[in-house]
A and B are shown apart, each in its own frame.
Chain A
Amino acid sequence: GQQVMQIPQYQHVQEGEDFTTYCNSSTTLSNIQWYKQRPGGHPVFLIQLVKSGEVKKQKRLTFQFGEAKKNSSLHITATQTTDVGTYFCAGEGGSEKLVFGKGTKLTVNP
């Protein structure tokens, strides 16, 4: 079945450094979504990408959807302590249900 792989599993950065997490699917995706889960919290929807090669920005966060619609990335510029949490990608590839990656846990040293 469809699999969504996410790397790295963990990332520790100094405050002010950049951070990137990558998402790769075994099948072509119709869309990809990104979520953030703060420690002890629940996932919160960040954004959805639908078009091949799409790039969307939310303040310091930049989201990309690959040309082949099989990969995606989330880049955070100049991390802050408020960025701490686990970032999940989730994609749909024709099965009518989202498949989540295992997430990248980001910790930020102030």
Chain B
Amino acid sequence: DGGITQSPKYLFRKEGQNVTLSCEQNLNHDAMYWYRQDPGQGLRLIYYSQIVNDFQKGDIAEGYSVSREKKESFPLTVTSAQKNPTAFYLCASSPTALLYGYTFGSGTRLTVV
């Protein structure tokens, strides 16, 4: 079955460590996105990519970095510069930007202690 795989489901890290969240899709979608979800805050866009080797900052990109070396993969690194990294991170993809609904992965819940 086609879909988006995010791993791991739960992740614990010590403060000051960088951590990379995986996102892989086999839907052949061009566009991929990373969102952060906090209670009562909805979904906030971190980074997005409409094509391989290109990506743009979203509304809350500070403290995060991404790469898009392959169409299928869009990993997100949460760096030590991110002040409040504990959150639920969702990866999504769509065939082309905006024309279709997004398919979301099941998310990674990151806890930094």
Contacts and interface: CB of A to CB of B under 8 A. Distances in A.
Interface of A: 1, 6, 9, 30-31, 33, 35, 41-48, 88, 90, 92, 96-103
Nearest to B41: A102
Given A96-B97, A97-B48, A97-B97, A45 B102 contact: yes
Contact of A100 (B43, B97, B100): B43
| Chain A interface mostly | strand
Interface residues of B, number: 23
Contacts of B41: 102
B106 interface: yes
Nearest to A95: B98
A98 B90 contact: no
A45 B101 contact: yes
A97 B50 CA distance: 10
B105 A42 contact: yes
Given A100-B42, A102-B42, A43 B97 contact: no
Interface string B25-38: 00000000001000
B107 interface: yes
A57 to B, nearest CB: 17
A48 B101 contact: yes
Given A33-B102, A42-B90, A43-B102, 12 more contacts: A35-B101, A35-B102, A41-B106, A43-B43, A46-B101, A48-B100, A48-B101, A96-B97, A97-B45, A97-B48, A98-B98, A102-B41
Contact of A97 (B58, B100, B101): B58
Given A97-B45, A100-B43, A103-B42, A30 B106 contact: no
